[in-house]
Chains A and B, each alone.
Chain A
């Protein structure tokens, strides 16, 4: 077993410790005193530099492990290939597109796709990328040119730190279909008819996607402020966006009017 330095959350405090990592298990020392078999791990997710592991023994227990990237990589390459998950060998390209810009150096990487309770992992020898189900924006069975031939792949669009990222998965067609159906089922709550927004509403949504603020949208589409507010209400009610800033319009009080009048006088005198 190899010891690696980490911090583990225990009783709402972070404990500095070293955990022993073996081929099929890891050992968390005192005061936690727990041996975790990788096959008992039900879920693995990652938030910044914290690895969150859900382990099923008698009950489900969540462990949060904080460490440097190198240590987390070491833990992931031990846990992900063995944990309790739907797993398939595949080629993946992640990210293939980020924020609408195609990644020129993106290439197919051989590895596996691991589907756990909270998300999807692309596991390669060099990188392990986590895509939480809650961040998945779209899943599409599409075609890409692979070695000169149009080939069926799955495109998964998801949000990563506010940027829209697309990743591609390539594997035998039957497996691809199973994975596609599974992912579609998991994200079914996000499906919409496509007729909920009219043309102007869609233009507004597209501009929000592109990073335009209310002022820019009003100018670009020549929309009065009230109409834009109504469209925002519609988009918000459909759960397609969330409020980040509330802009205010103000009117001067008599005190304010007097202040401005006085300051103008002093400037002109």
Chain B
């Protein structure tokens, strides 16, 4: 079980991911609504894993991923993309993302991915 930072600009998606993670027995380290806040919260909270939306205001998920990796190269980050943005995955892989989920997603599969990434 891990301590997880949820990064998404919509409250609805953050609440959904939070609920899914709770049902899997994980705890929530914190939440962030954009890339800048994600980097600041990562430094402060040192979570075991981050779920990161890609399209966000101020700083997008790919830039935030790079920012977190610069602070902690071992950071475990799962990217959340919408259907049709899968091309972004390639960029995320290059930048060090450990997993990828496509919205809309189903709880059991998300928990499986979180478990795999935490164990990696």
Contacts and interface: CB of A to CB of B under 8 A. Distances in A.
A101 interface: yes
Interface in A133-159: 142-145, 150, 155
Given A206-B16, A211-B108, A101 B100 contact: yes
Contact of A145 (B83, B87, B103, B108): B87
Interface residues on B, range: 20 to 34
Given A209-B106, A212-B107, A101 B15 contact: no
Interface residues of A, number: 24
Interface string B71-107: 0000000000001101101100000000111111111
Contacts of A100: 101-106, 109-110
Contacts of A150: 87
Nearest to A205: B104
Nearest to A209: B104
Contacts, number: 68
A103 to B, nearest CB: 10
A253 interface: no
A220 B19 contact: yes
A100 B82 CA distance: 9
29 contacts: A97-B102, A99-B106, A99-B109, A99-B110, A99-B112, A100-B101, A100-B104, A101-B100, A101-B101, A101-B102, A101-B105, A101-B112, A102-B101, A142-B84, A143-B87, A145-B87, A163-B106, A164-B104, A206-B12, A209-B104, A209-B106, A210-B20, A210-B104, A210-B106, A210-B107, A211-B107, A211-B108, A212-B16, A212-B19
